[in-house]
Structure 1
Amino acid sequence: MLLEGKVAIVTGASRGIGRAIALTLATHGATLVLNGTREDLLTELAGEVKSLGRSCAVCAGDVSDQQTAGELVRAAVGQFGRIDILVNNAGINRRASTLDMDPVEDWQRVLDINLNGTLYMCRASLPYMIDNKYGKIVNVTSTTAKTPHRNAAPSYGASKAGVNYLTQHLALEMAKHNIYVNAVCPGPIDTDMSQQWTADYRESVINRIPLGKLGTPQNVADAVLFLSSSMSDFITGESININGGTYMN
């Protein structure tokens, strides 16, 4: 029970990586506040969390709206009295190229959710973490933040690179308050999106991975658990690659 007694907010928890993170944190003792845009899926997930014997609240909403951040924080503090862990997982991707993309839907919308949403959640949570003299923030970014990918829109890589910088900046600012800020950078992960790939494309992706396999949402969740727990108490400002060796630094 690495997180016994801790209260965690997980954004983008409806499915995929976020869902795996939520269940993993709950399995290790955390009380959860779940966020996403699909309230039906969040309610279903909350039932699974409660079946593990953990308390759980659902707060649906779009993280690109600053009000959502305030509602999530108020839910955590109001119902459970504190915020110990914040996992910023909510994010979207687009596939349009630079010249083909729509400047609102394919650029601004991606930055609003991926980068601005992360900032809003951090700003809303940090005052409570500062008061408690403790906090763990884990931002879910992407290998695309560090190296370009032809199958991702420029807005996606730019937004995630921004989150990586924000991670380092907050880590430096908040270290004096005993608040740790880190990121995980997944590469090719087997999610609902990858299930839509053709067999040929799937094989081509796997062939480019040194470990010869796709990652799983659980692989990412395990890294988030590590960074959320006392096991990582001398690590801050890092962005850890979880990509089977497709990008090494």
Structure 2
Amino acid sequence: MTGQRVALVTGAAQGIGYGVAQRLGALGHHVALFDRDAALLTQAEQALRGEGLDVSALEGDVASDASAKEAIALVEKRFGRLDILINNAGISPSHGGYSQLVEDVPLEEWDRVLAVNLTGTFYMCRHALPLMKARKWGRIVNFSSQGGRMRSLLSGAHYAATKAGLIGFTRVLAGQVGGHGITANCIAPGRIDTEQSRSFGDTDTYLKQLPVGRFGEAADIGDCQDFRVWAGG
């Protein structure tokens, strides 16, 4: 992959999304930062521009098909293309740091977690794919979690269901788009040191179970994502 590409990162105002956007910007690509938190989004845009990176902010909610469509349309209008889509946006209600019993999960919370974590990725992909297919090149990276691969004592059933669903979704997507010069990959991190993960509490007990003795950092994910974006040329 050579030259500047155009990337869009969801949930880019903080945490993993911010780290990924920072890494893509450092590689010389333009990065559209998509997030629903206007204040944090502005701070992220200013901070990354302060590092000399080529970024722009897009306020919106991945859980809205109309918002996802508008974000992709704005990128197309400005650049005429979208090369890289990073679906990172996600939520995981903490409830004191422990997984809720299934029967205790409020219906509205279940619906919101599915809408953001799983359906939002579907919305973003369905609107981005026509642009990528037209250019016969694209890279899609969807963020799952270890919570989608094994039982988690911290995350609820709704979070686990969405993250497992993303793995299956990405497998099907990869098979459908490969012939168009597009790759689709999934990254499933363990616990990363973000504001969201710190809300789960009892970090000392969790840290004792980790051979390296520390949580992952957003920069670690950026390095992994580099490979996924570069894979296949």
Instruction: Give TM class, smaller chain.
Output: over 0.9
1:53 & 1:210 partners in 2: Cα distance? Answer: 36
- The Cα shift of 1:51 comes to 3.5
CA contact (8 A) 1:171 1:181 kept: yes
1:225-249: CA deviations, max 9, x gaps?
Answer: 22122xx118xxxxxxxxxxxxxxx
CA contact (8 A) 2:177 2:183 kept: yes
Q: Which residue of 2 aligns with 1:185?
A: 188
- The Cα shift of 1:218 comes to 1.0
What letter is aligned with 1:181? A
Cα pair distance change 1:55/1:213, threshold 3 Å:
closer
- The Cα shift of 1:52 comes to 4.1
1:221 & 1:98 partners in 2: Cα distance? Answer: 33
- The Cα shift of 1:58 comes to 1.4
State which of 146, 150, 153 in structure 2 corresponds to 1:147. Answer: 150
1:194 & 1:138 partners in 2: Cα distance? Answer: 21
Q: Which residue of 2 aligns with 1:216?
A: 217
1:86-141: CA deviations, max 9, x gaps?
Answer: 00000001243212110221x11101110000000000000010000000000111
Q: Which residue of 2 aligns with 1:32?
A: 31
2:2 & 2:43 partners in 1: Cα distance? Answer: 22
Q: Which residue of 1 aligns with 2:89?
A: 90
TM-score (normalised: structure 1)? 0.87
Find out whether 1:127 has 2:130 as its counterpart.
yes
Find out whether 1:202 has 2:218 as its counterpart.
no
- The Cα shift of 1:211 comes to 2.6
SS, match of residue 29 in structure 1: coil
Q: How many residues align?
A: 228
What letter is aligned with 2:101? S
Q: Which residue of 2 aligns with 1:75?
A: 74
CA contact (8 A) 2:154 2:200 kept: no
CA contact (8 A) 2:25 2:53 kept: yes
Q: Mind listing any 5+ residue stretches in structure 2 that lack a counterpart?
A: 95-99
SS, match of residue 186 in structure 1: coil
Q: Which residue of 1 aligns with 2:97?
A: none
- The Cα shift of 1:197 comes to 5.4
State which of 84, 102, 116 in structure 1 corresponds to 2:106. Answer: 102
2:179 & 2:140 partners in 1: Cα distance? Answer: 15
- The Cα shift of 1:53 comes to 3.9
Q: Which residue of 2 aligns with 1:175?
A: 178
TM-score (normalised: structure 2)? 0.92
- The Cα shift of 1:213 comes to 1.8
- The Cα shift of 1:75 comes to 1.5
What letter is aligned with 2:73? R
Backbone CA RMSD of aligned residues: 1.6
Find out whether 1:7 has 2:10 as its counterpart.
no
Find out whether 1:136 has 2:139 as its counterpart.
yes
Q: Which residue of 2 aligns with 1:225?
A: 226
